[in-house]
Amino acid sequence: MTSEERPPIVELSPEQCWKYLEKTFHGRLAVSVANRPSIYPLNYYAHDGVILFRTSPGTKLAELAVNDHVAFEADGILSDQAWSVVVQGTTRLLEAQSEIEAADNLPLQPWVRTLKYRYVEIQPETITGRFFNLGPEPERYPEEM
Amino acid sequence: MTSEERPPIVELSPEQCWKYLEKTFHGRLAVSVANRPSIYPLNYYAHDGVILFRTSPGTKLAELAVNDHVAFEADGILSDQAWSVVVQGTTRLLEAQSEIEAADNLPLQPWVRTLKYRYVEIQPETITGRFFNLGPEPERYPEEM
């Protein structure tokens, strides 16, 4: 197919979405308090159907304590292709020592040299993704033949 | 300064945030309906203190009609540095023909070859940004000297 023949948007299956999430380590978390959304960039690790991230006590954890419904997005962009996966679900703070020790052994690094002790898991309810074949838009007002 | 001496996180001024936004064209919009957040990737164009994007009638526009409070994020990641800017504000659908014609002349392209006729403007209330010097985390339990 030439680039003009490729469909501009392809819906990804949940399996395809997980493959993209598992090979990516940087995403964004959207939370909402009193119906006002906030968004945070974060490093994450996707494995076994959940998304794990680390954080320190602060605004993000406080907001999740008020409303644990979240949306999470990761994407990748090349010159002529892009993908984006969105997860909606709820968060859970890891509290059992055995869970925390298991998480300590995952390849999940914080972004910067700060101490981030708390692990939060996103438990997905829905996962959707799209693959984009980038290209110029069609003529808005095509000339008559 | 060596990499160990650089502060891991630097807060950006609003002016620095706008410079990052203006040289970037891909971000994510967080919206909330009934206190449930959603997140959408989008192409945008930042100019004159506002953020403009195009969309077609659909879920995103319907959600904004219910709650026009949004958060918007753009970021950039290199091997040892990263930045992220977050805007919180409200959205407004461009409706005046003169505004739409002016927007038509901006370098704002949709991501894919679909027809997206509606312009939406994010009017910022707050803008915050951070620059990250990436690096390994400090020792969690430093050994006693």
Asked if residue A116 belongs to a domain, the reply is: yes
- Check CB contact under 8 Å for B88 and A30: no
Minimum mean pLDDT among A8-22, A67-81, B108-122: which range?
A: B108-122
Sign of torsion over alpha carbons B67, B104, B55, B86: negative
Rounded average pLDDT over A22-26: 94
Closest by alpha carbon to B58, among B97, B31, B26?
A: B31
We report the CATH number of the domain holding residue B58 as 2.30.110.10
Give the residue, A83 or A111, on which the prediction is more confident.
A83
Q: Which two tokens stand for residue B2?
A: 């060596």
Give the chain B residue nearest A79 (alpha carbons): B111
Number of domains in chain A: 1
Asked if residue B79 belongs to a domain, the reply is: yes
Contacts of B95 (CB under 8 A, 6+ apart): none
- pLDDT tens, residue by residue, B71-87: 999 999 888 899 999 99
Give the chain B residue nearest A83 (alpha carbons): B41
For tokens 């203190």, name the residue. Answer: B49
Rounded average pLDDT over B53-63: 86
pLDDT at residue A17 above 80? yes
Asked if residue A46 belongs to a domain, the reply is: yes
Asked if residue B99 belongs to a domain, the reply is: yes
pLDDT of residue A57: 81
Q: Which of B28, B38, B109 sits opposite A28 (nearest CB)?
A: B28
Asked if residue A2 belongs to a domain, the reply is: no
pLDDT of residue B145: 37
Q: Which domain holds residue A44?
A: 13-133
Sign of torsion over alpha carbons A14, A16, A22, A26: negative
pLDDT of residue A139: 59
Give the chain B residue nearest A35 (alpha carbons): B35
- Check CB contact under 8 Å for B9 and A67: no
Interface test with B, best of A35, A44, A80, A91 (most B CBs within 10 A): A35
Asked if residue B60 belongs to a domain, the reply is: yes
Q: How confident is the model at residue B1 (pLDDT cuts 50, 70, 90)?
A: low
Asked if residue A5 belongs to a domain, the reply is: no
pLDDT of residue A137: 62
* Closest chain A C-alpha to B39 CA, distance in angstroms: 6
Asked if residue B141 belongs to a domain, the reply is: no
